[in-house]
Amino acid sequence: MLGGVKEAQGDQAEAIRLYREAIRYWPDLAEARYNLARSLVANEQYQEAEFQFKQALVAAPEFAEVHHSYALLLVATNHRSQAEDQLREAARLDPGSAVFHS
């Protein structure tokens, strides 16, 4: 939660540090890995962001938002077929989401 507050305040570096700290205490906390991955993407640290997205999905494979955000990273890094797979999974997990279907 503290990482989210720092992120909202525009302090990405502190948000990343706090997300890492949460993961240190609870490695399977998918939300912390998801938030860390999003922050890393914002800082163009794509390789580590991909790792964090994958770890979040290991911890919580039904977390549709992770599939969606990971897909956006894959599009940005020119891995469109993998992105399509992730988007389809996000839409399957949350069929009512117009964002995932668009």
Region 83-94: mean pLDDT is: 96
Q: Cα 76–35–91 angle (5° rounding)? A: 60
- Report the pLDDT value the prediction gives residue 73, as an integer from 0 to 100: 98
- Report the pLDDT value the prediction gives residue 6, as an integer from 0 to 100: 93
The structure tokens listed for 77 are 């890094």
- Report the pLDDT value the prediction gives residue 25, as an integer from 0 to 100: 96
**Which are the contacts of 48, defined by CB distance < 8 A and separation ≥ 6?**
40
**pTM greater than the 0.95 cutoff:** no
Of the candidates 65, 57, 62, the residue with the CA atom closest to the CA atom of residue 97: 65
Query: What are phi and psi for residue 26, nearest 5 degrees?
Result: -140, 85
- Report the pLDDT value the prediction gives residue 74, as an integer from 0 to 100: 98
Q: What DSSP string runs through 57-81?
A: HHH-TT-HHHHHHHHHHHHHTT-HH
Task: Give per-residue pLDDT as tens, 55-87.
Answer: 999 999 999 999 999 999 999 999 999 999 999
